Each structure stands twice: as C-alpha cells, then as structure tokens.
A = this chain, B = another copy of it.
Amino acid sequence: MKELLGKQRAVSVEEALMLIFNNLPARIPPSESINIEEGLARILAEDIYSREDLPGFDRSSVDGYAVISSDTFGASETMPLYLEIAGEIKMGEIPLERLTRGKAMKIPTGGMLPEGSDAVIMLEHTAQIENNLIEILRPVAPGENVIKKDEDIKFGELILKKGHKLRPQDIGALAGLGITEIKVFKKPEVAIISTGDEIVPPTKKPLPGQVRDINSYNLSSLIIEAGAIPMRLGILRDEYELIKNTLKKACEIADMVLISGGSSVGTRDYTAKAIEELGRPDGGVLFHGVMMKPGKPTIGGIVGNVPVFGIPGHPAAATICFFNFVKPVIKRLSGQNFAEFPKTIKAVLNKNIPSSPQRTDFVRVKIKTEGNTFMAEPIFGKSGLITTLVQADGIVVIPPERLGLEEGETVEVILFE
C-alpha cells in the first residue's frame, strides 16, 4: 500500500528512506553463474555449504616428528625419552605405514599424519642421536601441532550466506573447497537521465550560458562503486513529453532510474509529474522534498517495480542524495545483506559549523593530521560547486536536533570510498 506522507510536505531523511523501502516490491534479484576468479565484491545468490571436510586429513602444522603422544609423556631436557625413526613422510603423499609404539616419523608442515599417530613434536624439541634415533625433549599433548581433518571446515557446514559480499578470503575458502562456480546476483542496472536546456556533453565546448554534464559522470562512478551498472541515457531538453517518454523507456530496461538535473523549479515539476503519471495507480511520487542540506529538492518515487529518484542538479547535493537514498536502494536491489560497517574516522572539528534546526545537514570536510589527531576542516562552498567535493575527504552529519557543531568537538567523518 502506498503511503502519501511525503507528497504533502518535505520529509526527514529517515522518513524518505522508509517511504522508498516500504514501497519497493519484494523481488529476488535475478542471479547468474560465474567463476570464483570473477567473484570479488559480488553478492552470493546461494548459501554455500561445504561438500567435504577441510583439510580432509590430519595435517601437521609444524616441521617435526609424528608421534604417539603418550610415548612422549614425562620427557624433559634433563630426562629425554628415545624414539626410533620409522621413516619420513613426503608432502602430498599418503604415509606408507602405520605408526607403532616407540616410533616417530619425520613430517613436514602440511604433511599427512600416519595412522596411529595423534600429535607432532616440533623439530626443535628433539635431537637426533643416531641415524634412526631421536631424543624427545618435552612431552606433546594429544592433537598438539595437528590440524584435524575437519578442523577448518566440516562436511555440511554453512560457510557463506546468501547476500554476502565476497572478500578475498571468501574466494580463497571457496577455492579450498573445490567450489569454482558460484551463483551471484546480477548487478542492478541504473539508468541516468540528464535534463537541462543548459547541459552539453563533456566533449562539447559550452557556449555562454551552457555548462557540461558533471552529474551523470559523478553518478556513473558512484553507481559502479556501489556495485551496480550505470546506463547513461543522454541529455534531454526540459520538455515534459520527452522526459516522460524517456522515463517510461528507462523503467522498462533498467532496475532503477535517476533523473539528474532539474535544479530549476520547472524541471523538478516535470520530473515529479512524469513519475506520478507513469506510476499511477500503485506507485508515483512518494516524497518531494527532504529536510536536509544540501539535497532538499530530492524526489523519490516508484514506477511499476522500478524506484525512480529526481536528483538535484547541484553536484554536492547529488552526491549526498546518492549516499542517503540511491546507495541503500542499490544494495537492496543487489540482494546484499545490510551488515556492513560504516567507513568512518573520528576527527576534531577545527571550526564552528552553524546549522538550522529540523534539518539534517551534511557538511563536506577535509581531513588533516595534527600530530596523532585527525582534524576535520569544514568546506563551506556552495553546493553547486564540484570543487567542494573534490577538496573533501568525507562528510559530517549534523542531526536535526542540533544547532550546529563547535570547534574542538570530536565528530565522526563518513569517508568517501
């Protein structure tokens, strides 16, 4: 059921996100099979259970002698015990015979324990006396210096969960289990429509009054960074039918649509009207205006199954809007579990930052080091300037209930990736 809350008044950041999430259709993203070599940072579309034990056999974790642990009990430097060398175990090979009482077999790190043996004594705790005789200089406990056959991973164990974003060690574990093909969710495709009579492509020299398209390049890279695939659908003139028809087509081919630009009231109205008209009766505009700075003119809605955002034209506003709304929705569309830790650092503010009540402020800051302390310097430029973002290392959030932050205060800085 569609909630109409956001159409009447500007909503808070949390309300806006909730409106989008509550109206996203429950849909399992499509999946594809890939080789683990292409798996880094992809999202698992299946639970991975082990089909075998790892390492699969009792394995020495040191260079030494495989022994029967009880044969070493009571041994010490002053009262060593003696064992006969019954042979040497070769890496990667099955020990040729069973180990019996009073005997030891030389074993390399990673070597397979012979039957009968239950521990390994490190080379440095032995001394070779004769060709086939060693002194044992200390006792070893059962299982000491041994990795048991299922100690790393047990047959049937759940190793990695559906929705997990694969890291290098996960790829390693899959390789270790012989799982080289995995099912991952397809990356969502995010269409970007640029609007604005003044916008020209970066390859064109702008005439007076025109500017080049910054946002769809900034947004494309943000989309890639978030794990999705950008589709730039070009720059549209501010004409209602054109915007509406392009949005309609975009909703047919993409999993999400961003309409960028529309910084003037006229374009914003076109964007909202097109979302509303195409989205009826089940979708349409969910909110139009968010109590935040920059990014107030953000529009959120649903057309069919497809989330659509009207992204403010100012570059800094577009970026904040991306982090607050677009990225969380991309993660949802990617099938990703939400347990991810924010990449933040604590820093000390080196200037006061004023702020208005009832509005969430997102202040760009530059990080400097002073001795062992990180200092956060607010960048106060207009949100229409791309350089305020280029100079910034991250963002400090001022919640609605605070009237600014004070110099010397310790703040949490959300780092750009």
The interface of chain A, by Cβ under 8 A from chain B, is 36-37, 39-40, 54-57, 59, 61, 63, 90-95, 108-112, 123, 147, 151-153, 159-160, 167-180, 196-199, 202-215, 217-222, 224-225, 238, 263-266, 313, 315, 319, 341-346, 367, 374, 382, 384-387, 389-390, 392-393, 415-417
Judging by beta carbons under 8 Å apart, are B111 and A386 in contact?
A: no
Judging by beta carbons under 8 Å apart, are B341 and A172 in contact?
A: no
Judging by beta carbons under 8 Å apart, are B341 and A367 in contact?
A: yes
Judging by beta carbons under 8 Å apart, are B61 and A384 in contact?
A: yes
Partner of A173, one of B178, B204, B207, B390: B390
Partner of A175, one of B214, B266, B393: B214
Judging by beta carbons under 8 Å apart, are A55 and B211 in contact?
A: yes
Chain B: minimal CB distance from A215 (Å): 7
Given known contacts A63-B264, A215-B172, is B57 in contact with A209 (CB within 8 Å)?
yes
CA distance A342 to B372 in the complex (A): 13
Q: Which residues of B contact A203 (CB under 8 A)?
A: 178, 180
Q: Which residues of B contact A266 (CB under 8 A)?
A: 108
CA distance A416 to B172 in the complex (A): 14
CA distance A177 to B202 in the complex (A): 7
Q: Which residues of B contact A167 (CB under 8 A)?
A: 221, 416-417
Q: Which residues of B contact A344 (CB under 8 A)?
A: 345
Chain B: minimal CB distance from A130 (Å): 22
Q: Nearest chain-B residue to A220 (Cβ)?
A: B37
Partner of A172, one of B207, B221, B342: B221
Given known contacts A167-B221, A202-B180, A367-B341, is B110 in contact with A264 (CB within 8 Å)?
yes
Given known contacts A178-B212, A209-B93, is B172 in contact with A54 (CB within 8 Å)?
no
CA distance A387 to B50 in the complex (A): 12
Judging by beta carbons under 8 Å apart, are A238 and B91 in contact?
A: yes
Number of copies: 2
Judging by beta carbons under 8 Å apart, are A202 and B218 in contact?
A: no
Q: Which residues of B contact A196 (CB under 8 A)?
A: 91-92, 110
CA distance A63 to B269 in the complex (A): 13
CA distance A393 to B91 in the complex (A): 32
Among A168, A170, A213, A387, the most chain B Cβ lie within 10 Å of the Cβ of A168
Partner of A91, one of B174, B198, B224, B345: B198
CA distance A39 to B220 in the complex (A): 11
Q: List 30 A-B contacts (CB under 8 A).
A: A36-B202, A37-B217, A39-B221, A54-B211, A91-B198, A92-B196, A92-B197, A94-B208, A108-B264, A109-B263, A109-B265, A112-B208, A147-B382, A147-B385, A151-B385, A153-B387, A159-B387, A159-B390, A168-B219, A168-B221, A168-B319, A169-B392, A171-B218, A172-B215, A173-B386, A173-B389, A174-B202, A177-B212, A178-B205, A180-B203
Judging by beta carbons under 8 Å apart, are A110 and B198 in contact?
A: yes
CA distance A348 to B212 in the complex (A): 48
* Besides A59-B384, A123-B265, A341-B345, 17 new A-B residue pairs in contact (Cβ under 8 A), listed by A number: A56-B208, A61-B382, A61-B384, A91-B264, A92-B197, A93-B197, A109-B263, A111-B264, A147-B384, A153-B386, A167-B417, A171-B220, A172-B214, A172-B217, A173-B390, A175-B217, A341-B393
